[in-house]
Amino acid sequence: MGEISSIQSRFIQYINGIIHNHRVSHAYLIELNNYEQDLTFVYSFIKMILCNISYEELESCQNPILTLIDDGNYPDIRVISSDTGVIQKSFITDLQKEYSNKSLLNEKRIYLIREAEKLNGFSANTILKFLEEPEDDIIAFLLTDNRYHVLDTILSRCQVLSLKEEKGSYQVDDSLLDILDCILNPRQFFLKYRSYMDDIFLDKNVMRNQLREVENVLIAYLEGNLIEKDELSFLSSKTSDEVIHILSVIEDEVPKLDFNVNFKLWVDALFSRLIGG
């Protein structure tokens, strides 16, 4: 499959873990370094999902789905792009109308939005229904060259992956250390329940922001971009699969905070899932 860079190798390791652990999300935002080169890896991930195989198995796989995708003839993949500076609302409503019907192949349906930063307020509000109320057989791939140019309402509802070479390393704020330690060792949360709820996990907005920071740290750790410090030694005891599991739980649970949930019950459920494996 040709020589790959270190960031591409880490991306492959990450998506292999997703497939192996059956943790496919309903929405991914993938940050690309170069659209034409990196699309190969995006489509490899799509093929892995549809065929339930690892990256290394793609080359020998004989599933006709792969040929259909390579030829641009797979009927359940839709690509949305715009030649202007905006992805119009009509593009999204057309997609929703098309995907209201059943899959032609009785498989998962995929849609890719190129240059997701072009989603404006109108088109973003329209796509949010897909992201907030996902159907089991529909998966979104939003592509961008800079995650921070994508609207926060979109970004917060996607699992973020990156094929972009990092210019620097991720520095962990000391205030995040206790939260990280608790998330990675969730049993201690119930042992110190009152102190965590009174001093750290104050309300849903604080918790949402904290967990997004935790996601950033864990992704940086998987990508090899985390600045090491003695206080983070507990990370080294976690395998990549365990970290991916934690990220998947956070991704599943954080959107629920947008609804009228009992905050303390939500926190209990989050840590119960983290312990449950």
Supply φ then ψ for residue 137, to 5 degrees: -105, 15
Q: 31 φ, ψ to 5°?
A: -90, 120
Q: Which residue has the higher pLDDT, 152 or 227?
A: 152
Contact between 246 and 274 under an 8 Å Cβ cutoff? The reply is yes
Q: Which of 3-17, 187-201, 220-234 has the lowest mean pLDDT?
A: 220-234
Q: How confident is the model at residue 106 (pLDDT cuts 50, 70, 90)?
A: confident
pTM: 0.64
Return the exposure string of 131-150: e unless at least 16 CB atoms fall within 10 Å of the residue's CB, then b: beebeeebbbbbbbbebeeb
Contact indicator for 163, 7 with CB cutoff of 8 Å: yes
Higher pLDDT, residue 210 or 80: 80
pLDDT tens-digit series, residues 227-262: 666 656 767 778 877 888 888 888 888 888 877 789
In the three-class reduction of DSSP (H, G, I as helix; E, B as strand; rest coil), residue 138 is classed as strand
213 band by pLDDT with thresholds 50, 70 and 90: confident
What integer pLDDT is reported at residue 229 of this predicted model?
60
Q: Where are the alpha helices (DSSP H) in 146-201?
A: 152-155, 177-184, 187-191, 193-199
Side-chain half-sphere exposure of 44, counting CA atoms within 13 A: 20
What is the b/e burial string over 72-92, where b = at least 16 CB atoms within 10 angstroms of the residue's CB? eebebbbebeeeeeebbbebb
Q: How far apart are CA 52 and CA 68, in angstroms?
A: 16
Picking from 88, 258, 267, the residue whose alpha carbon sits closest to that of residue 190 is 267
